[in-house]
Structure 1
Protein backbone atom coordinates (compact mmCIF):
# COMPACT_ATOMS: atom_id res chain seq x y z
CA UNK A 1 0.00 0.00 0.00
CA UNK A 2 1.43 3.36 -0.98
CA UNK A 3 0.37 6.72 0.34
CA UNK A 4 0.69 8.31 -3.11
CA UNK A 5 -1.98 6.08 -4.68
CA UNK A 6 -5.32 7.92 -4.56
CA UNK A 7 -7.20 4.70 -3.83
CA UNK A 8 -4.84 3.53 -1.09
CA UNK A 9 -4.81 4.30 2.61
CA UNK A 10 -2.19 4.08 5.29
CA UNK A 11 -3.64 2.77 8.54
CA UNK A 12 -1.98 3.30 11.92
CA UNK A 13 -3.61 2.33 15.23
CA UNK A 14 -2.35 2.98 18.74
CA UNK A 15 -3.67 2.31 22.24
CA UNK A 16 -2.22 2.77 25.71
CA UNK A 17 -3.54 1.87 29.13
CA UNK A 18 -4.53 4.91 31.16
CA UNK A 19 -2.62 5.87 34.32
CA UNK A 20 -5.70 5.20 36.46
CA UNK A 21 -5.97 1.64 35.17
CA UNK A 22 -2.23 1.06 35.58
CA UNK A 23 -2.37 2.16 39.22
CA UNK A 24 -5.33 -0.13 39.90
CA UNK A 25 -4.00 -3.13 38.01
CA UNK A 26 -6.77 -2.98 35.41
CA UNK A 27 -6.38 -3.96 31.75
CA UNK A 28 -6.75 -1.62 28.83
CA UNK A 29 -10.52 -1.59 28.25
CA UNK A 30 -10.33 0.01 24.79
CA UNK A 31 -10.28 -1.98 21.57
CA UNK A 32 -9.56 -1.17 17.94
CA UNK A 33 -9.29 -2.86 14.57
CA UNK A 34 -9.72 -2.57 10.84
CA UNK A 35 -10.42 -4.75 7.85
CA UNK A 36 -9.73 -4.11 4.15
CA UNK A 37 -12.09 -5.37 1.42
CA UNK A 38 -10.50 -4.12 -1.78
CA UNK A 39 -8.64 -1.13 -3.26
CA UNK A 40 -9.47 1.87 -1.09
CA UNK A 41 -12.36 0.07 0.65
CA UNK A 42 -12.16 -0.68 4.37
CA UNK A 43 -13.86 -0.56 7.76
CA UNK A 44 -12.23 0.67 10.94
CA UNK A 45 -13.48 0.90 14.53
CA UNK A 46 -12.58 1.84 18.09
CA UNK A 47 -14.48 1.02 21.28
CA UNK A 48 -14.18 2.03 24.92
CA UNK A 49 -15.38 -0.40 27.59
CA UNK A 50 -17.14 1.18 30.57
CA UNK A 51 -14.79 1.44 33.53
CA UNK A 52 -17.52 0.29 35.93
CA UNK A 53 -18.45 -2.81 33.92
CA UNK A 54 -16.95 -6.12 35.03
CA UNK A 55 -16.19 -7.37 31.51
CA UNK A 56 -15.68 -4.04 29.75
CA UNK A 57 -12.51 -5.13 27.96
CA UNK A 58 -14.38 -8.08 26.41
CA UNK A 59 -17.31 -5.82 25.54
CA UNK A 60 -15.13 -3.40 23.58
CA UNK A 61 -13.53 -6.26 21.64
CA UNK A 62 -16.96 -7.69 20.81
CA UNK A 63 -18.17 -4.27 19.64
CA UNK A 64 -15.24 -3.84 17.25
CA UNK A 65 -15.71 -7.38 15.95
CA UNK A 66 -19.42 -6.74 15.39
CA UNK A 67 -18.71 -3.58 13.39
CA UNK A 68 -16.05 -5.21 11.21
CA UNK A 69 -17.93 -8.48 10.70
CA UNK A 70 -21.07 -6.60 9.68
CA UNK A 71 -19.11 -4.50 7.21
CA UNK A 72 -17.52 -7.59 5.71
CA UNK A 73 -20.89 -9.31 5.29
CA UNK A 74 -22.40 -6.25 3.61
CA UNK A 75 -19.44 -5.46 1.35
CA UNK A 76 -18.70 -8.92 -0.03
CA UNK A 77 -21.20 -8.36 -2.85
CA UNK A 78 -21.80 -5.32 -5.00
CA UNK A 79 -21.36 -2.10 -3.05
CA UNK A 80 -23.84 0.78 -3.48
CA UNK A 81 -22.93 3.67 -5.71
CA UNK A 82 -25.85 6.13 -5.64
CA UNK A 83 -26.54 8.47 -2.73
CA UNK A 84 -29.93 6.95 -1.93
CA UNK A 85 -28.42 3.46 -1.91
CA UNK A 86 -25.67 4.57 0.45
CA UNK A 87 -28.22 6.00 2.90
CA UNK A 88 -30.03 2.67 3.02
CA UNK A 89 -26.68 0.90 3.36
CA UNK A 90 -25.73 3.09 6.34
CA UNK A 91 -28.99 2.38 8.14
CA UNK A 92 -28.69 -1.36 7.56
CA UNK A 93 -25.08 -1.26 8.73
CA UNK A 94 -26.05 0.36 12.03
CA UNK A 95 -28.86 -2.15 12.64
CA UNK A 96 -26.69 -5.08 11.64
CA UNK A 97 -23.82 -4.04 13.93
CA UNK A 98 -26.13 -3.78 16.96
CA UNK A 99 -27.81 -7.08 16.12
CA UNK A 100 -24.47 -8.85 15.81
CA UNK A 101 -23.25 -7.36 19.10
CA UNK A 102 -26.46 -8.49 20.82
CA UNK A 103 -26.04 -11.98 19.39
CA UNK A 104 -22.56 -12.20 20.91
CA UNK A 105 -24.07 -11.60 24.37
CA UNK A 106 -27.00 -14.01 24.19
CA UNK A 107 -25.22 -16.58 26.34
CA UNK A 108 -24.61 -14.03 29.09
CA UNK A 109 -27.07 -13.52 31.96
CA UNK A 110 -25.62 -10.03 32.60
CA UNK A 111 -25.17 -8.12 29.31
CA UNK A 112 -24.54 -4.89 31.22
CA UNK A 113 -21.17 -6.32 32.30
CA UNK A 114 -20.03 -5.83 28.68
CA UNK A 115 -20.97 -2.13 28.47
CA UNK A 116 -18.97 -0.32 25.80
CA UNK A 117 -19.06 2.56 23.36
CA UNK A 118 -18.37 2.17 19.63
CA UNK A 119 -17.19 4.41 16.82
CA UNK A 120 -16.85 2.83 13.38
CA UNK A 121 -16.33 4.13 9.86
CA UNK A 122 -16.72 2.50 6.46
CA UNK A 123 -14.29 4.09 4.01
CA UNK A 124 -15.40 3.87 0.38
CA UNK A 125 -14.26 7.12 -1.25
CA UNK A 126 -15.89 9.44 -1.97
CA UNK A 127 -18.45 7.97 0.46
CA UNK A 128 -17.91 7.55 4.20
CA UNK A 129 -20.32 5.98 6.68
CA UNK A 130 -19.84 6.76 10.36
CA UNK A 131 -21.73 4.96 13.14
CA UNK A 132 -21.27 6.02 16.75
CA UNK A 133 -22.75 5.23 20.15
CA UNK A 134 -21.16 6.85 23.18
CA UNK A 135 -18.48 9.49 23.59
CA UNK A 136 -15.88 8.65 20.98
CA UNK A 137 -15.06 11.39 18.47
CA UNK A 138 -13.95 11.58 14.85
CA UNK A 139 -11.46 14.02 13.31
CA UNK A 140 -11.32 14.51 9.55
CA UNK A 141 -8.64 16.10 7.38
CA UNK A 142 -9.65 17.73 4.08
CA UNK A 143 -7.40 19.01 1.32
CA UNK A 144 -8.05 21.86 1.08
CA UNK A 145 -9.94 22.56 4.26
CA UNK A 146 -7.74 21.41 7.13
CA UNK A 147 -8.98 19.67 10.29
CA UNK A 148 -12.64 19.25 11.23
CA UNK A 149 -14.34 17.66 14.23
CA UNK A 150 -16.70 15.54 12.17
CA UNK A 151 -18.31 13.67 15.10
CA UNK A 152 -17.88 15.54 18.41
CA UNK A 153 -18.17 13.95 21.84
CA UNK A 154 -21.52 14.66 23.53
CA UNK A 155 -21.77 18.02 25.27
CA UNK A 156 -21.95 17.96 29.08
CA UNK A 157 -21.78 14.17 29.03
CA UNK A 158 -20.94 14.06 32.74
CA UNK A 159 -24.24 15.78 33.57
CA UNK A 160 -26.56 13.75 31.33
CA UNK A 161 -26.84 10.50 33.26
CA UNK A 162 -23.57 9.10 32.02
CA UNK A 163 -22.37 7.81 28.68
CA UNK A 164 -24.68 5.79 26.45
CA UNK A 165 -23.38 2.28 25.73
CA UNK A 166 -24.24 -0.48 23.30
CA UNK A 167 -25.99 -2.17 26.23
CA UNK A 168 -28.07 0.93 27.11
CA UNK A 169 -31.83 0.85 26.41
CA UNK A 170 -31.65 4.30 24.79
CA UNK A 171 -28.82 3.38 22.40
CA UNK A 172 -30.82 3.69 19.16
CA UNK A 173 -32.28 7.05 20.14
CA UNK A 174 -28.82 8.40 21.01
CA UNK A 175 -26.82 6.86 18.15
CA UNK A 176 -25.05 9.00 15.56
CA UNK A 177 -25.22 7.84 11.95
CA UNK A 178 -23.50 10.08 9.39
CA UNK A 179 -23.24 9.64 5.63
CA UNK A 180 -20.59 11.83 4.04
CA UNK A 181 -19.77 12.39 0.37
CA UNK A 182 -16.41 14.15 0.24
CA UNK A 183 -13.81 13.52 -2.49
CA UNK A 184 -11.41 15.89 -0.70
CA UNK A 185 -11.24 13.92 2.52
CA UNK A 186 -7.72 12.54 2.96
CA UNK A 187 -7.53 11.53 6.62
CA UNK A 188 -9.59 10.27 9.56
CA UNK A 189 -8.78 9.79 13.23
CA UNK A 190 -11.16 7.70 15.34
CA UNK A 191 -10.59 8.48 19.03
CA UNK A 192 -11.90 7.18 22.34
CA UNK A 193 -12.89 9.67 25.02
CA UNK A 194 -9.55 9.39 26.84
CA UNK A 195 -8.18 11.73 24.16
CA UNK A 196 -10.78 14.50 24.48
CA UNK A 197 -8.70 16.67 26.80
CA UNK A 198 -5.44 15.87 25.00
CA UNK A 199 -6.56 16.62 21.44
CA UNK A 200 -9.53 19.00 21.58
CA UNK A 201 -10.03 22.59 22.65
CA UNK A 202 -13.25 24.34 23.64
CA UNK A 203 -14.94 27.44 22.24
CA UNK A 204 -18.20 29.14 23.14
CA UNK A 205 -21.18 28.77 20.83
CA UNK A 206 -23.78 31.49 20.30
CA UNK A 207 -25.62 30.36 23.42
CA UNK A 208 -22.52 30.65 25.56
CA UNK A 209 -21.99 26.89 25.89
CA UNK A 210 -18.52 25.41 25.68
CA UNK A 211 -18.27 23.31 22.51
CA UNK A 212 -15.35 21.05 21.57
CA UNK A 213 -13.30 22.06 18.53
CA UNK A 214 -10.30 20.55 16.79
CA UNK A 215 -7.28 22.88 16.94
CA UNK A 216 -5.42 23.39 13.65
CA UNK A 217 -2.21 21.94 15.10
CA UNK A 218 -3.89 18.52 15.24
CA UNK A 219 -2.90 18.19 11.60
CA UNK A 220 0.59 17.30 12.82
CA UNK A 221 -0.68 13.83 13.80
CA UNK A 222 -1.99 13.24 10.27
CA UNK A 223 1.29 14.40 8.76
CA UNK A 224 3.19 12.13 11.13
CA UNK A 225 1.35 8.90 10.29
CA UNK A 226 1.33 9.74 6.58
CA UNK A 227 5.13 9.29 6.59
CA UNK A 228 5.86 5.58 5.93
CA UNK A 229 8.80 5.83 8.34
CA UNK A 230 6.38 6.35 11.24
CA UNK A 231 4.15 3.68 12.68
CA UNK A 232 2.21 2.63 15.75
CA UNK A 233 5.29 2.66 18.01
CA UNK A 234 5.78 6.40 17.67
CA UNK A 235 2.08 7.08 18.13
CA UNK A 236 2.02 4.89 21.22
CA UNK A 237 4.96 6.82 22.65
CA UNK A 238 3.10 10.08 22.11
CA UNK A 239 -0.02 8.77 23.87
CA UNK A 240 2.13 7.49 26.75
CA UNK A 241 3.96 10.78 27.23
CA UNK A 242 3.68 12.74 30.45
CA UNK A 243 1.79 15.49 28.66
CA UNK A 244 -0.93 13.12 27.49
CA UNK A 245 -1.01 11.19 30.76
CA UNK A 246 -1.70 14.42 32.62
CA UNK A 247 -4.81 15.16 30.55
CA UNK A 248 -6.77 12.05 31.57
CA UNK A 249 -6.40 8.89 33.62
CA UNK A 250 -8.43 6.94 31.05
CA UNK A 251 -7.21 4.56 28.36
CA UNK A 252 -6.30 6.33 25.12
CA UNK A 253 -6.89 4.88 21.69
CA UNK A 254 -6.70 6.33 18.18
CA UNK A 255 -7.09 4.63 14.80
CA UNK A 256 -5.90 6.77 11.90
CA UNK A 257 -6.49 6.38 8.17
CA UNK A 258 -4.61 8.68 5.77
CA UNK A 259 -3.79 8.93 2.09
Structure 2
Protein backbone atom coordinates (compact mmCIF):
# COMPACT_ATOMS: atom_id res chain seq x y z
CA UNK A 1 0.00 0.00 0.00
CA UNK A 2 1.17 3.53 -0.68
CA UNK A 3 1.99 5.97 2.07
CA UNK A 4 -0.61 8.64 2.82
CA UNK A 5 0.68 11.60 4.80
CA UNK A 6 -1.43 14.47 6.10
CA UNK A 7 0.39 17.34 4.50
CA UNK A 8 -0.93 20.62 5.74
CA UNK A 9 -4.30 22.36 5.90
CA UNK A 10 -6.50 21.07 3.09
CA UNK A 11 -3.85 18.92 1.40
CA UNK A 12 -2.78 15.29 1.64
CA UNK A 13 0.19 13.54 0.04
CA UNK A 14 0.24 9.97 -1.22
CA UNK A 15 3.49 8.31 -2.38
CA UNK A 16 4.47 4.90 -3.74
CA UNK A 17 7.40 3.36 -5.57
CA UNK A 18 8.44 0.13 -7.27
CA UNK A 19 11.78 -1.33 -8.30
CA UNK A 20 12.19 -1.54 -12.05
CA UNK A 21 12.14 -4.92 -13.75
CA UNK A 22 15.53 -4.17 -15.33
CA UNK A 23 17.01 -3.37 -11.91
CA UNK A 24 15.52 -6.52 -10.40
CA UNK A 25 16.92 -8.69 -13.22
CA UNK A 26 20.38 -7.17 -12.68
CA UNK A 27 20.19 -7.57 -8.90
CA UNK A 28 20.32 -3.82 -8.34
CA UNK A 29 18.30 -1.99 -5.68
CA UNK A 30 15.78 0.72 -6.44
CA UNK A 31 17.52 4.08 -6.75
CA UNK A 32 14.34 6.14 -6.27
CA UNK A 33 13.10 7.82 -3.11
CA UNK A 34 10.04 9.80 -1.99
CA UNK A 35 9.15 11.82 1.08
CA UNK A 36 6.25 14.00 2.26
CA UNK A 37 6.06 16.25 5.30
CA UNK A 38 3.89 18.95 6.81
CA UNK A 39 4.53 21.94 9.03
CA UNK A 40 2.55 23.53 11.83
CA UNK A 41 1.59 26.51 9.67
CA UNK A 42 -0.30 24.71 6.89
CA UNK A 43 2.81 24.15 4.76
CA UNK A 44 3.26 20.87 2.90
CA UNK A 45 6.30 19.54 1.03
CA UNK A 46 6.46 16.49 -1.23
CA UNK A 47 9.56 15.30 -3.09
CA UNK A 48 10.71 12.45 -5.31
CA UNK A 49 14.25 11.71 -6.46
CA UNK A 50 15.86 9.34 -8.95
CA UNK A 51 19.44 8.28 -8.32
CA UNK A 52 21.47 7.90 -11.50
CA UNK A 53 22.02 4.42 -12.89
CA UNK A 54 25.53 4.81 -14.33
CA UNK A 55 28.20 2.79 -12.46
CA UNK A 56 30.04 5.99 -11.49
CA UNK A 57 26.98 6.89 -9.37
CA UNK A 58 27.30 3.75 -7.24
CA UNK A 59 25.77 5.40 -4.15
CA UNK A 60 22.91 7.11 -5.93
CA UNK A 61 20.20 5.29 -3.96
CA UNK A 62 21.61 6.97 -0.83
CA UNK A 63 21.88 10.26 -2.71
CA UNK A 64 18.19 10.09 -3.61
CA UNK A 65 17.14 9.46 0.00
CA UNK A 66 19.30 12.34 1.19
CA UNK A 67 17.79 14.57 -1.52
CA UNK A 68 14.15 14.04 -0.50
CA UNK A 69 15.09 14.39 3.17
CA UNK A 70 16.83 17.70 2.42
CA UNK A 71 13.89 18.90 0.33
CA UNK A 72 11.37 18.24 3.09
CA UNK A 73 13.45 19.52 6.01
CA UNK A 74 14.68 22.67 4.29
CA UNK A 75 11.35 23.26 2.57
CA UNK A 76 9.43 23.30 5.85
CA UNK A 77 12.13 25.34 7.58
CA UNK A 78 12.61 28.07 4.99
CA UNK A 79 9.81 28.27 2.42
CA UNK A 80 6.80 29.47 4.48
CA UNK A 81 8.49 32.67 5.67
CA UNK A 82 10.26 33.18 2.35
CA UNK A 83 7.06 32.94 0.31
CA UNK A 84 5.11 35.08 2.77
CA UNK A 85 7.71 37.85 2.49
CA UNK A 86 7.72 37.74 -1.33
CA UNK A 87 4.00 38.12 -1.80
CA UNK A 88 3.95 39.22 -5.46
CA UNK A 89 6.81 37.39 -7.16
CA UNK A 90 8.44 34.69 -5.05
CA UNK A 91 10.67 33.04 -7.65
CA UNK A 92 13.67 35.41 -7.40
CA UNK A 93 13.72 35.09 -3.61
CA UNK A 94 13.46 31.31 -3.82
CA UNK A 95 16.32 31.12 -6.27
CA UNK A 96 18.47 33.47 -4.21
CA UNK A 97 17.68 32.33 -0.67
CA UNK A 98 16.38 28.77 -0.86
CA UNK A 99 17.96 26.90 -3.77
CA UNK A 100 21.61 27.37 -2.66
CA UNK A 101 20.68 26.33 0.89
CA UNK A 102 18.94 23.21 -0.40
CA UNK A 103 21.95 22.19 -2.47
CA UNK A 104 24.36 22.87 0.40
CA UNK A 105 22.18 20.90 2.82
CA UNK A 106 22.27 17.91 0.46
CA UNK A 107 26.05 18.19 0.13
CA UNK A 108 26.43 18.33 3.91
CA UNK A 109 24.21 15.25 4.23
CA UNK A 110 26.41 13.45 1.70
CA UNK A 111 29.48 14.41 3.73
CA UNK A 112 27.81 13.02 6.85
CA UNK A 113 27.00 9.77 5.07
CA UNK A 114 30.59 9.55 3.83
CA UNK A 115 31.93 9.99 7.36
CA UNK A 116 30.00 6.86 8.34
CA UNK A 117 30.69 4.97 5.09
CA UNK A 118 34.05 6.11 3.70
CA UNK A 119 35.16 5.12 0.22
CA UNK A 120 37.63 2.27 -0.19
CA UNK A 121 39.00 4.04 -3.25
CA UNK A 122 37.93 7.71 -3.20
CA UNK A 123 36.75 9.09 -6.56
CA UNK A 124 38.01 12.41 -7.91
CA UNK A 125 34.74 14.08 -6.89
CA UNK A 126 33.15 12.61 -3.74
CA UNK A 127 29.69 13.90 -4.71
CA UNK A 128 29.46 12.08 -8.05
CA UNK A 129 28.66 8.61 -6.65
CA UNK A 130 25.60 10.13 -4.91
CA UNK A 131 24.22 11.78 -8.07
CA UNK A 132 20.45 12.17 -8.20
CA UNK A 133 17.62 14.21 -9.63
CA UNK A 134 15.03 15.96 -7.44
CA UNK A 135 11.41 17.02 -7.98
CA UNK A 136 9.71 19.07 -5.26
CA UNK A 137 6.27 20.60 -4.70
CA UNK A 138 5.56 22.77 -1.67
CA UNK A 139 2.23 24.28 -0.63
CA UNK A 140 2.64 27.45 1.40
CA UNK A 141 -0.73 29.18 0.92
CA UNK A 142 -1.39 31.03 -1.23
CA UNK A 143 1.57 29.66 -3.21
CA UNK A 144 2.38 26.30 -4.73
CA UNK A 145 6.13 26.24 -5.30
CA UNK A 146 7.47 23.76 -7.86
CA UNK A 147 11.17 22.98 -8.18
CA UNK A 148 13.11 20.47 -10.26
CA UNK A 149 16.62 19.47 -11.23
CA UNK A 150 17.07 16.73 -13.81
CA UNK A 151 14.45 14.55 -15.46
CA UNK A 152 11.14 13.30 -14.10
CA UNK A 153 7.68 14.81 -14.27
CA UNK A 154 5.79 17.52 -12.45
CA UNK A 155 2.18 18.15 -13.48
CA UNK A 156 -0.37 20.54 -11.95
CA UNK A 157 -3.95 19.39 -12.53
CA UNK A 158 -6.93 21.72 -12.28
CA UNK A 159 -10.36 20.73 -11.04
CA UNK A 160 -11.75 20.76 -14.61
CA UNK A 161 -9.14 18.19 -15.74
CA UNK A 162 -6.90 20.56 -17.61
CA UNK A 163 -3.24 20.46 -16.63
CA UNK A 164 0.12 22.10 -17.16
CA UNK A 165 3.80 21.46 -16.49
CA UNK A 166 4.79 24.40 -14.27
CA UNK A 167 8.60 24.38 -14.53
CA UNK A 168 10.50 25.13 -17.74
CA UNK A 169 11.99 22.27 -19.72
CA UNK A 170 15.65 21.45 -19.19
CA UNK A 171 17.54 22.17 -22.42
CA UNK A 172 20.39 19.89 -21.33
CA UNK A 173 18.32 16.69 -21.16
CA UNK A 174 19.03 14.46 -24.16
CA UNK A 175 17.39 11.16 -23.18
CA UNK A 176 20.64 9.68 -21.88
CA UNK A 177 22.02 12.36 -19.57
CA UNK A 178 20.42 14.54 -16.96
CA UNK A 179 21.35 17.48 -14.78
CA UNK A 180 22.06 16.47 -11.20
CA UNK A 181 22.49 17.60 -7.63
CA UNK A 182 26.05 16.25 -7.77
CA UNK A 183 27.25 18.70 -10.42
CA UNK A 184 29.31 21.72 -9.29
CA UNK A 185 26.76 24.22 -10.65
CA UNK A 186 23.69 22.35 -9.41
CA UNK A 187 21.98 25.48 -8.09
CA UNK A 188 22.09 27.08 -11.55
CA UNK A 189 20.39 24.02 -13.09
CA UNK A 190 17.37 24.09 -10.76
CA UNK A 191 14.15 25.14 -12.50
CA UNK A 192 11.47 26.94 -10.48
CA UNK A 193 7.83 27.97 -10.85
CA UNK A 194 5.33 29.48 -8.42
CA UNK A 195 1.58 28.97 -8.90
CA UNK A 196 -0.88 31.30 -7.19
CA UNK A 197 -3.47 28.97 -5.67
CA UNK A 198 -6.00 31.78 -5.34
CA UNK A 199 -6.75 31.68 -9.05
CA UNK A 200 -5.51 28.35 -10.35
CA UNK A 201 -8.26 26.02 -9.00
CA UNK A 202 -5.70 23.26 -8.44
CA UNK A 203 -7.09 19.80 -7.69
CA UNK A 204 -3.81 17.91 -7.34
CA UNK A 205 -0.13 17.82 -8.23
CA UNK A 206 1.60 14.79 -9.75
CA UNK A 207 5.31 14.23 -9.17
CA UNK A 208 7.09 11.22 -10.69
CA UNK A 209 10.50 9.87 -11.58
CA UNK A 210 11.12 9.24 -15.27
CA UNK A 211 10.12 5.57 -15.01
CA UNK A 212 6.52 6.81 -14.94
CA UNK A 213 6.60 9.04 -18.01
CA UNK A 214 8.65 6.54 -20.00
CA UNK A 215 5.99 3.89 -19.39
CA UNK A 216 3.22 5.91 -21.03
CA UNK A 217 2.09 4.83 -24.49
CA UNK A 218 1.64 8.33 -25.87
CA UNK A 219 4.45 10.86 -26.15
CA UNK A 220 2.06 13.63 -25.12
CA UNK A 221 0.48 11.72 -22.23
CA UNK A 222 0.02 14.58 -19.79
CA UNK A 223 -3.40 15.95 -20.93
CA UNK A 224 -5.13 12.56 -20.69
CA UNK A 225 -3.45 11.61 -17.42
CA UNK A 226 -4.41 14.98 -15.94
CA UNK A 227 -8.04 14.57 -17.00
CA UNK A 228 -8.14 11.01 -15.62
CA UNK A 229 -6.62 12.03 -12.29
CA UNK A 230 -9.07 14.93 -11.86
CA UNK A 231 -11.99 12.59 -12.52
CA UNK A 232 -10.65 10.02 -10.05
CA UNK A 233 -10.07 12.70 -7.40
CA UNK A 234 -13.70 13.75 -7.72
CA UNK A 235 -14.78 10.16 -7.10
CA UNK A 236 -12.30 8.90 -4.51
CA UNK A 237 -10.51 10.04 -1.37
CA UNK A 238 -6.79 9.88 -0.50
CA UNK A 239 -7.08 6.42 1.04
CA UNK A 240 -8.23 5.04 -2.30
CA UNK A 241 -5.23 6.62 -4.01
CA UNK A 242 -2.96 5.15 -1.32
CA UNK A 243 -4.23 1.72 -2.29
CA UNK A 244 -3.98 2.29 -6.04
CA UNK A 245 -0.69 4.13 -6.36
CA UNK A 246 1.53 1.08 -5.65
CA UNK A 247 -0.32 -0.82 -8.39
CA UNK A 248 0.31 2.01 -10.85
CA UNK A 249 3.98 2.16 -9.88
CA UNK A 250 4.38 -1.62 -10.25
CA UNK A 251 2.80 -1.56 -13.71
CA UNK A 252 5.05 1.26 -14.88
CA UNK A 253 8.15 -0.45 -13.45
CA UNK A 254 7.33 -3.82 -15.01
CA UNK A 255 8.70 -5.24 -18.23
CA UNK A 256 5.47 -4.18 -19.92
CA UNK A 257 6.13 -0.60 -18.81
CA UNK A 258 9.43 1.25 -18.66
CA UNK A 259 11.27 -1.46 -16.72
CA UNK A 260 12.81 1.37 -14.69
CA UNK A 261 12.38 2.26 -11.03
CA UNK A 262 9.15 4.22 -10.75
CA UNK A 263 8.11 6.53 -7.94
CA UNK A 264 4.86 8.49 -7.96
CA UNK A 265 3.60 11.14 -5.54
CA UNK A 266 0.27 12.93 -5.51
CA UNK A 267 -0.48 16.07 -3.54
CA UNK A 268 -4.28 16.14 -3.30
CA UNK A 269 -6.46 19.12 -2.44
CA UNK A 270 -9.01 17.77 0.02
CA UNK A 271 -11.70 20.18 -1.13
CA UNK A 272 -11.82 18.15 -4.36
CA UNK A 273 -11.79 14.60 -2.97
CA UNK A 274 -14.91 13.22 -1.25
CA UNK A 275 -14.96 12.35 2.44
CA UNK A 276 -14.77 8.58 2.31
CA UNK A 277 -12.44 5.86 3.45
CA UNK A 278 -11.13 3.09 1.25
CA UNK A 279 -12.06 -0.52 2.14
CA UNK A 280 -8.33 -1.33 1.85
CA UNK A 281 -7.39 1.01 4.69
CA UNK A 282 -6.54 -0.75 7.93
SS at match of 2:67: helix
Residue 83 of structure 1 pairs with residue 82 of structure 2 = no
Q: Is the 8 A contact 1:199 1:214 kept in 2?
A: no
CA deviation digits over 1:44-90, x for unaligned, max 9?
A: 10000001211111000001111111112215768615434733542
CA contact (8 A) 1:94 1:177 kept: no
Give the structure-1-normalised TM-score: 0.82
Structure 1 residues 89 and 242, CA gap change in structure 2 (3 angstroms): closer
Taking only aligned residues, the RMSD between alpha carbons, in angstroms, comes to 2.8
Partner secondary structure for residue 198 of structure 1: coil
Task: State the SS of the aligned residue for 2:135.
Answer: strand
Q: 1:228 to 1:175 in 2, by over 3 A?
A: closer
Alignment of 1:1-259 (within 5 A): 7-38=9-40, 40-52=42-54, 53-75=57-79, 80=84, 82-84=86-88, 86-91=90-95, 92-106=97-111, 108=114, 109=122, 110-144=126-160, 146-151=162-167, 154=170, 157-158=173-174, 162-183=177-198, 184-199=201-216, 201-202=218-219, 212=220, 214-224=222-232, 226-241=236-251, 245-259=255-269
- For normalisation by structure 2, the TM-score amounts to 0.76
1:223–1:235 distance in 2 versus 1, CA, 3 Å: farther
Any conservation in 1 of the 2:32–2:64 contact (CA below 8 Å)?
Answer: yes
Q: Which has the higher strand share?
A: 1
Structure 1 residue 155: Cα displacement: 6.2
Q: 1:137 to 1:245 in 2, by over 3 A?
A: same
Give ranges in structure 1 of 5+ residues lacking alignment. Answer: 1-5, 203-211
Alpha-carbon contact 2:150-2:173 (below 8 Å) kept: no
Rounded to whole Å, the distance in 1 between the matches of 2:148 and 2:45 is 13
Q: Which is further off, 176-185 or 148-157?
A: 148-157
Structure 2 Cα separation of the partners of residues 158 and 78 of structure 1? 34
Gaps of 5+ in 2: 1-7, 115-121, 270-282
The 1:130/1:217 distance shift into structure 2, 3 A limit, reads closer
Q: For residues 63 and 140 of structure 1, do their structure 2 counterparts lie closer, same or farther at Cα, with a shift above 3 Å needed?
A: same
Give how far 1:177 is off.
1.4
Q: Does structure 1 retain, via aligned residues, the 8 Å contact 2:13–2:46?
A: no
